[in-house]
Amino acid sequence: MVRRTSSINRTRALAHRRVRRLTVGSSCVAALLAAAGCKSVAGPSAAPGVSVASLAVTSRSFASGGAIPVDFTCDGADRSPELSWSAPPPGTRSFAVLVDDPDAPSGNFTHFVAYDIDASARELQEGGDPAASGGASGNNDFDRPGYGGPCPPRGQIHHYVFRVYALDTRLEIDPAVDRSALVAAMRGHVLGEGALVGLYSR
């Protein structure tokens, strides 16, 4: 048991160091996720002829590359962490947020789907509803709307990727939308993107 715990702690520390070497708001989100040990997950494409701007994504609830506190997981209150982002590029009309676990045994597992958040918004409050910022929540992979916290198999460290997208439109789509439908709707509308990675193990 001591040896297993020590191994988990070393893995967590290594992932933390790798993430901190990169700027979370850099334009190379894929490089950040690769450095964190995350598997590749398909996302939406940019608007035609547009170079995607960087959004700096941060949280007062946990540090970049750090452990996600238990209150924001299935082992605690299961409420969403606070999430903030930098000013978007001109032409932004809404934001979308996706929270994914690319380390899930069955492949990528989506914990949160939110969209049509007002272009003036710069955060989602802790435990907040996207509707408070003009947005809506789609269905996560727990098959329910809203946020569902990290809940990995015991003994495994998983990466949780909080992505924010600045879009050139309001999507105004079916409230029961899931990740794949949201990504399809965002295709060709992305003006900016940023990501924040947190870790959790049980």
Domains of the chain: 2-200 (3.90.280.10)
For residue range 78-136, what is the model confidence (pLDDT) as tens digits?
A: 999 999 999 999 999 999 999 999 999 988 999 999 999 999 999 999 999 999 999 99
Q: Is 153 exposed, middle or buried (0-12, 13-18, 19+ CB in 10 A)?
A: exposed
pLDDT over 50 (residue 17) = no
- Coil, helix or strand at residue 172: coil
Q: What is the Rg, in whole angstroms, of the alpha carbon atoms belonging to the chain?
A: 16
List 18's β-bridge partners, or say none: none
- The whole-model pTM stands at 0.81
- Coil, helix or strand at residue 62: coil
d(CA 58, CA 18): 17
